[in-house]
Structure 1
């Protein structure tokens, strides 16, 4: 939308959260949609004046009086409308010369992907989960797991624990069922912690590099102070460690069979994965919150693209003038971690995972040549079908995300 500004026009906004000033910018956004942007103090003043339902002529006058220059209200309104912040724009004309009707949003609201989790769960029912006594229990789990693994080496998970059953298909299905059950419980922990803060998370499928993952979108927590965001960011990891402490405790008590070891092994992989900060893992968001950053990974990719262009004598592709100098300095340290980590994961996939997968698919295809009434045929068919389903789902996620970004 390209707007034509009329001084008597009044723009009404949805309820917006405006955070504290940090490094000259404030987080502004809607907790109900999870859309947040960083604005300088000048933009925040415009938001406040527009939010007070002042005529745009008065908004312009106040801005000139305070900052000594004319604001580009048309461009600013287009920007906040594209974020879904505008509820009604009476008297603001679009480029086609049509005024936005009362009650009609002047900009499209960004779609939210995924399934809303626990949206009807009252906050008071789960607020106790973030009380100080519970925090002590969570800290105990974080300390207990490494302590038990150091104290009793026989408890340490090993690759052999991934083989729960002897048949290839049966083992793949069993391990996949365990892994995805644990993933969903991990995401539910995030969702419960988010509800304890009064906002709602949304569950969706996504990818991290070459891995298909479930994720809980919880950008609504940006409407609470930074110190309170650690609980929902760390909720999934904390739940994993609580479960892992239980598995290790059962093994110490003599009740640790192969299924318990398989669960502990799967949880170990999940915990390690969450510390890979070169992907959008739980600890990546903890790091971003601690360092008071906006879109660290997105800005890093754009910075690297500009660097690549400069190396070949081309102009930069992205304008990073709006990124604070402090964040640019952090990006220079984070960029090698991002690059080397991504390359290491890709190399490990090509050198370790892919050959093993090719071998298993080969064995499965060999089984397809066996008699139809035999176990080998159905084992092979089932495994090939499972792999095809995973690859198809991953491809669908890639296409969907690229379309959304276009």
Structure 2
């Protein structure tokens, strides 16, 4: 077995129970290895030859190992640089740009300020029920165009703030997080890219996952308090206060959205981390789909066996948890319908009713043009994410799951 002079990219090793998470923080590529596999990788990355590594492994673990096959897997994962490559190893990255700001925003004084805001908002909501989130708050003015534009452009900075807190929570740990734009179904969303998150211990990942929801709660509290401060002694809420209530309703709806774990929201990643899983969603989907295929296959006597997804591509832990977690996906879809009916539904029904009423007044009226413009803006809002979704689907079209015969 000839040695080819293996050259490795910088790798991180994080022990989690009987497994070790190994990966590259620069690309976000990680693999879960058993203790012996991680130990073998450490020997190879330290410069030990393949022959020496194989002999060491057999001496320590009492059985031979196919180092060539192991190295081929490392190549597939992108952990190895080309043998004899003259490319210099990447220079170590310095501290993240906003690390000092991140530490200030998650310091003890900051947490005290957040708690004070939330407590004050809770008191205001208890005293004034009309400040509590309600779908009627969305239509804070008679102009549909104004409502649509304020909700679109008012939510963008709030959504950016949500994801920025994810980024800052990662930078607080020294990770080089970044912010991007993508889509989720028919919504434009900001996305956090924290490639090195699995290079830190599991207990330190919770805050980066929860940071967005933390700032959502704080933003909701601040908007409610501002609306309460603008409230007149007679109980009237002026336009600025009604705008705050409309935006606070949108923030509350986004917090409710986080409960839909099947959409891989922030709470999904918190739960997955707590359960010590790495790809729970995909594993549970595959297991659930295989169950359905097996059952339908039994009912189709005389037909070919159904094709099943290869479940061995996930860890034992993911498969064990995924065996029951898959049912929560079905529950999640039901919850999505409930959220649409009781939260999004009333807002949509009112929008349609007002739009139809405005268009029916005729082209010579202000309500007609207001309704028409709002409809155009709403259509563009739906069309843009749909275009992004189509592009994403085309990009992923070549990625097929592994299939095996039943």
Query: 1:147/1:297 Cα in 2 relative to 1: closer, same or farther (>3 Å)?
Result: farther
What CA RMSD, in Å, does the superposition of the two structures yield over aligned residues? 3.5
CA–CA separation in structure 2 for the residues paired with 1:328 and 1:142: 39
Query: 1:322/1:146 Cα in 2 relative to 1: closer, same or farther (>3 Å)?
Result: farther
Single out whichever of 240-249 and 281-290 deviates more from structure 2: 240-249
2:226 aligned residue: 250
Matches within 5 A, 1:18-97: 18-22=13-17, 24-90=18-84
Give 1:173 deviation, angstroms: 1.4
Please give the secondary structure, in 1, of the residue aligned with 2:33. Answer: strand
2:197 aligned residue: 221
Matches within 5 A, 1:84-163: 84-90=78-84, 101-103=85-87, 121-139=97-115, 148-150=124-126, 152-163=128-139
CA–CA separation in structure 1 for the residues paired with 2:227 and 2:83: 64
Structure 1 contact 206–213 (Cα < 8 Å) conserved: yes
Please give the secondary structure, in 2, of the residue aligned with 1:317. Answer: strand
> TM-score normalized by structure 2?
0.80
Q: How many residues align?
A: 377
Give 1:21 deviation, angstroms: 3.2
Of 379, 383, 391, 1:391 maps to 383
1:8 aligned residue: 3
Please give the secondary structure, in 2, of the residue aligned with 1:187. Answer: helix
Give 1:132 deviation, angstroms: 3.8
Query: 1:40/1:33 Cα in 2 relative to 1: closer, same or farther (>3 Å)?
Result: same
Deviation digits for residues 207-257 of structure 1, max 9, x if unmatched? 445544322122422222222212211111111111222222233434562
CA–CA separation in structure 2 for the residues paired with 1:354 and 1:153: 20
Structure 1 contact 34–220 (Cα < 8 Å) conserved: yes
Structure 2 contact 358–371 (Cα < 8 Å) conserved: no
CA–CA separation in structure 2 for the residues paired with 1:146 and 1:50: 57
Query: 1:78/1:26 Cα in 2 relative to 1: closer, same or farther (>3 Å)?
Result: same
Give 1:269 deviation, angstroms: 1.0
1:297 aligned residue: 281
Query: 1:389/1:82 Cα in 2 relative to 1: closer, same or farther (>3 Å)?
Result: farther
1:202 aligns with 2:178: yes
Query: 1:125/1:251 Cα in 2 relative to 1: closer, same or farther (>3 Å)?
Result: closer
2:327 aligned residue: 336
1:239 aligns with 2:232: no
Structure 1 stretches lacking a partner, 5+ long: 1-5, 91-100, 106-118
Please give the secondary structure, in 2, of the residue aligned with 1:275. Answer: coil
Give 1:69 deviation, angstroms: 3.8
Structure 2 contact 29–77 (Cα < 8 Å) conserved: yes
Structure 2 contact 140–246 (Cα < 8 Å) conserved: yes
Deviation digits for residues 349-368 of structure 1, max 9, x if unmatched? 58938974994797499589
> TM-score normalized by structure 1?
0.80
Deviation digits for residues 265-295 of structure 1, max 9, x if unmatched? 1111122212222221111111112221111
1:165 aligned residue: 141
